[in-house]
């Protein structure tokens, strides 16, 4: 009797199990209401919807060419997707969306093209993870689970960085990297373009930056290097913008400048002839705080701002040893003349001059955490990397901050089980990245408003090939996306791992 009841129960449950399938999306949406049944895509339904075309609302967005998801997903949906404009839901903001999948329609509601894009990113995952029913017709078709998704990000700034100076990566690879970011709703690519071991952006007024600064002689005598022409850069910026990703370029100062100073020693403190270094570590070379150096930076920023439409320009500021400034008559004279108490204040003076120039051009500067040491201007955005302390200090001061603490966000650090490649590295397992939350505990509401979001960095001293970049990136990028988009209220590591195992992460 019991067995009989059990069988009856099972028979009742089976159709339900078949009819409802969990919706696996990363980053986890804020709200998913699962229905029963499916939107089925096969040749018949596509034909049927084509015939009904005039009843379907079209949006210009669906016609946008060269759009990654269009090729893969929306072609299939062409005739069945409705995209509506403004929605009356204050939660959505500029990146949020509603995605409604019913038995006979798919509807995207969003306030902006960015919101529509985010809905398509979700739809792509839902589509790719949908079961395929190969018995229903000759053409196998996808069973898209009926559901109603409401989604919006916990943090507005969701960044991923790449150092192309220590090792150089091709234009094609940068595009692939951007594709990966887009798949996980990362909206900012921080492109680290200048450092000691290579200057990687063409600046027309200073050709030696790339003629000399983009190349180094390795210990085995081979030449290593490369750079992006302004044409390459424009192409990459357009590619990223089609995916709703902003690129923030980084032009380092006053340290991490050996490659630039090898090209133009007159902007340095020693005037010595330098070669582009082929070793890692912090170098002593530093720009001299002279009018000719500031003119150089103004010229460079003119070309950088002409190329990059981003509101933010990163101007470095980390790891700048002051030994050369201490022994430089020029640096000491500037300190005296400007009444600066120490070399940290001189760094602030230096960076603030460049920042002010950017401000005049309508841009905002970002600096690494060390910029809080010598005095903080009101408008500098602080990227806190050693830990969150510089960011906390800056947020309390009223500055916007981006958190990128190395204990959670340094993707050059080894994955669990990998070998440490340098003594300053710590293992960075997936669980740690997942646990990252940019918001420090105990901030006042006024200070908390200044925490824009978070970012992970990928430095490449020990990451030499494209395969190695992908190895360092994945699947930690996927965890980062959930830390920044989903946020701490809805995150759930166990559930994340389950979803991670069902999606194709590369
Ligand atoms: C840094 O890792 N030096 C910002």
CATH number, domain containing residue 97: 3.30.379.10
Q: Does a cis peptide bond (omega within 30 degrees of 0) precede residue 475?
A: yes
Beta-carbon contacts of 99 under 8 Å, excluding residues fewer than 6 positions away, are 106, 107, 108, 109, 119, 122, 123, 147, 148, 149, 151
Q: Ligand 1 in contact with 411 (CB < 6 A)?
A: no
Q: Which pLDDT tens digit goes with each residue over 379-389? A: 999 999 999 99
Asked whether residue 113 falls in the same domain as residue 188, the answer is no
In ligand 1, which atom is closest to the CA atom of 369?
4
Q: Which of 2-6, 123-127, 423-427, 491-495 has the lowest mean pLDDT?
A: 2-6
The CA distance from 434 to 415, in Å, is 13
The active-site residue out of 141, 161, 190, 256 is 256
In ligand 1, which atom is closest to the CA atom of 256?
3
Q: Has 256 been annotated as catalytic?
A: yes
The CA distance from 231 to 240, in Å, is 14
Q: Is the pLDDT of residue 4 over 70?
A: no
How many Cβ atoms from other residues are within 10 Å of residue 498's Cβ? Answer: 12
Asked whether residue 184 falls in the same domain as residue 324, the answer is yes
Asked whether residue 127 falls in the same domain as residue 219, the answer is no
The CA distance from 181 to 162, in Å, is 12
The CA distance from 242 to 240, in Å, is 5
- Rounded mean pLDDT of 295-318? 98
In ligand 1, which atom is closest to the CA atom of 404?
4
**pLDDT tier, 104 (very low <50, low <70, confident <90, very high otherwise):** confident
The CA distance from 451 to 487, in Å, is 13
Burial (CB count <10 Å: 0-12, 13-18, 19+), residue 171? middle
The CA distance from 405 to 403, in Å, is 6
Q: Is the pLDDT of residue 55 over 50?
A: no
Decide the pairing of beta strands 131-133 and 141-151. antiparallel
Rounded distance from Cα 44 to ligand 1 centre (Å):
56
Evaluate whether 167 touches 278 at the Cβ level (below 8 Å): no
The rounded Cα 262 to chain-centroid distance in angstroms is 31
Rounded distance from Cα 406 to ligand 1 centre (Å):
9
- DSSP letter for 151, please: E
Which of the two residues, 127 and 230, has the higher pLDDT score? 230
Hey, which of 280, 315, 318, 408 would you mutate to test ligand 1's pocket, going by the most ligand atoms within 8 Å of its Cβ?
A: 318
pLDDT at position 469 is 96
Asked whether residue 324 falls in the same domain as residue 384, the answer is yes
State the DSSP H helix or E strand holding residue 330, giving kind and residue range, or none if neither: helix 329-337
Q: Ligand 1 in contact with 319 (CB < 6 A)?
A: yes
The active-site residue out of 42, 151, 163, 195 is 195
Rounded distance from Cα 66 to ligand 1 centre (Å):
35
The CA distance from 20 to 290, in Å, is 68
Asked whether residue 254 falls in the same domain as residue 386, the answer is yes
The CA distance from 408 to 455, in Å, is 10
**pLDDT tier, 84 (very low <50, low <70, confident <90, very high otherwise):** low
Q: Which protein residue has the closest C-alpha to ligand 1 atom 3?
A: 318
pLDDT at position 206 is 98
Residue with tokens 């960011």: 391
Which of the two residues, 54 and 495, has the higher pLDDT score? 495
pLDDT at position 107 is 83
The active-site residue out of 89, 303, 318, 319 is 319
**pLDDT tier, 58 (very low <50, low <70, confident <90, very high otherwise):** very low
Distances in Å between the alpha carbon of 43 and those of 37, 40, 48, 370? 19, 10, 9, 59
Asked whether residue 15 falls in the same domain as residue 71, the answer is yes
Rounded distance from Cα 466 to ligand 1 centre (Å):
21
250: domain CATH number is: 3.20.20.80
- pTM, rounded to two decimals: 0.90
Q: Which of 46-60, 134-148, 168-182, 446-460 has the lowest mean pLDDT?
A: 46-60
Asked whether residue 51 falls in the same domain as residue 146, the answer is yes
The CA distance from 214 to 207, in Å, is 10
The CA distance from 205 to 50, in Å, is 55
Asked whether residue 125 falls in the same domain as residue 187, the answer is no
- Rounded mean pLDDT of 233-248? 95
Q: Ligand 1 in contact with 318 (CB < 6 A)?
A: yes
Total domains in the fold of the chain: 2
How much is the mean pLDDT over the chain? 88
Hey, which of 319, 386, 402, 403 would you mutate to test ligand 1's pocket, going by the most ligand atoms within 8 Å of its Cβ?
A: 319
Q: Which of 64-78, 193-207, 241-255, 423-437 has the lowest mean pLDDT?
A: 64-78
Is 212 strand, coil or helix? coil
Residue that terminates a domain, selected from 151, 167, 185: 151
**pLDDT tier, 117 (very low <50, low <70, confident <90, very high otherwise):** confident
- DSSP letter for 72, please: I
Rounded distance from Cα 317 to ligand 1 centre (Å):
9
Residue that terminates a domain, selected from 151, 172, 189: 151
Rounded distance from Cα 459 to ligand 1 centre (Å):
8
Q: Is the pLDDT of residue 313 over 90?
A: yes
Asked whether residue 117 falls in the same domain as residue 180, the answer is no
Is 215 strand, coil or helix? strand
Structure tokens at 500: 């991670």
Q: Does a cis peptide bond (omega within 30 degrees of 0) precede residue 112?
A: no
Rounded distance from Cα 474 to ligand 1 centre (Å):
21
For the chain, helix (H) and strand (E) counts, in that order, are: 20, 18
Rounded distance from Cα 318 to ligand 1 centre (Å):
6
Asked whether residue 32 falls in the same domain as residue 92, the answer is yes
Residue that terminates a domain, selected from 99, 117, 151: 151
The CA distance from 4 to 10, in Å, is 10
Asked whether residue 115 falls in the same domain as residue 198, the answer is no
- At residue 128's C-alpha, the angle toward residues 191 and 22, to 5°, is 110
State the DSSP H helix or E strand holding residue 33, giving kind and residue range, or none if neither: strand 31-41
Q: Has 131 been annotated as catalytic?
A: no
Of 183, 176, 316, which Cα lies nearest the Cα of 249?
A: 316
Q: Ligand 1 in contact with 299 (CB < 6 A)?
A: no
Q: Which protein residue has the closest C-alpha to ligand 1 atom 2?
A: 385
Asked whether residue 344 falls in the same domain as residue 487, the answer is yes
pLDDT at position 137 is 58
Evaluate whether 199 touches 262 at the Cβ level (below 8 Å): no
In ligand 1, which atom is closest to the CA atom of 368?
4
Q: Which pLDDT tens digit goes with each residue over 365-407? A: 999 999 999 999 999 999 999 999 999 999 999 999 999 999 9
In ligand 1, which atom is closest to the CA atom of 459?
2
Q: Ligand 1 in contact with 133 (CB < 6 A)?
A: no
The CA distance from 132 to 42, in Å, is 10
User: Residue 503: phi, psi to the nearest 5?
Assistant: -105, 155
Q: Is the pLDDT of residue 75 over 80?
A: no
**pLDDT tier, 22 (very low <50, low <70, confident <90, very high otherwise):** confident
pLDDT at position 412 is 97
Full residue range of the structural domain in which residue 104 is found:
2-151
Quick one: what percent of the chain has pLDDT higher than 70? 85
């Amino acid at each position: 009797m019991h067995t009989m009841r059990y069988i009856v129960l099972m028979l009742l449950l089976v159709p339900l199990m078949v009819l409802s399938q969990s919706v696996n999306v990363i980053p986890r949406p804020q709200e998913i209401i699962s229905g029963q049944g499916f939107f089925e895509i096969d040749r018949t339904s596509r034909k049927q919807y084509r015939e009904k075309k005039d009843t379907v609302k079209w949006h210009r967005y669906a016609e946008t060419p060269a759009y990654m998801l269009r090729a893969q997903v929306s072609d299939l949906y062409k005739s069945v997707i409705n995209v509506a404009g403004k929605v009356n839901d204050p939660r959505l903001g500029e990146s949020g969306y509603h995605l409604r999948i019913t038995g006979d329609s798919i509807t995207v509601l969003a306030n902006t093209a960015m919101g529509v894009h985010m809905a398509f990113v979700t739809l792509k995952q839902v589509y790719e993870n949908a079961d395929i029913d190969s018995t229903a017709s000759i053409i196998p078709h996808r069973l898209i689970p009926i559901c109603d998704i409401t989604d919006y990000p916990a943090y507005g700034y969701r960044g991923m960085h790449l150092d192309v100076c220590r090792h150089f990566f091709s234009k094609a690879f940068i595009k692939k990297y951007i594709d990966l970011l887009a798949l996980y709703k990362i909206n900012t690519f921080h492109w680290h373009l200048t450092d000691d071991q290579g200057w990687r952006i063409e600046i027309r007024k200073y050709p030696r930056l790339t003629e000399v600064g983009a190349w180094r002689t390795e210990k085995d005598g081979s030449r290593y290097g490369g750079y992006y022409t302004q044409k390459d850069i424009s192409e990459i910026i357009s590619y990223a913008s089609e995916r709703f990703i902003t690129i923030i370029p980084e032009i380092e100062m006053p340290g991490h400048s050996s490659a630039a100073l090898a090209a133009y020693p007159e902007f340095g403190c020693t005037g010595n002839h330098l070669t582009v270094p082929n070793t890692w570590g912090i170098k002593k070379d530093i720009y001299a705080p002279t009018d000719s150096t500031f003119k150089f930076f103004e010229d460079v920023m003119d070309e950088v701002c002409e190329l990059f439409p981003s509101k933010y320009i990163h101007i470095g500021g980390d790891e700048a040893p002051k030994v050369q400034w201490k022994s430089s008559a020029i640096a000491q004279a500037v300190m005296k003349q400007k009444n600066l108490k120490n070399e940290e204040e001189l760094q602030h003076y230096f960076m603030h001059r460049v920042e002010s120039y950017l401000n005049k051009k309508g841009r905002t500067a970002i600096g690494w955490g060390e910029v809080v040491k010598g005095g903080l201007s009101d408008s500098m955005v602080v990227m806190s990397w050693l830990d969150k302390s510089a960011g906390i200090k800056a947020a309390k001061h009223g500055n916007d901050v981006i958190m990128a603490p190395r204990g959670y966000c340094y993707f050059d650090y080894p994955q669990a089980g990998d070998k440490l490649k340098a003594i300053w590295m710590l293992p960075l397992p997936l669980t740690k990245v997942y646990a990252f939350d940019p918001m420090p505990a105990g901030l006042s509401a006024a200070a908390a408003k200044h925490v824009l979001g978070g970012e992970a960095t990928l430095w490449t001293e020990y990451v030499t090939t494209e395969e190695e970049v992908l190895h360092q990136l994945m699947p930690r990028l996927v965890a980062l996306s959930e830390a920044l988009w989903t946020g701490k209220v809805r995150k759930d590591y166990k559930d994340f791992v389950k979803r991670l195992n069902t999606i194709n992460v590369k």
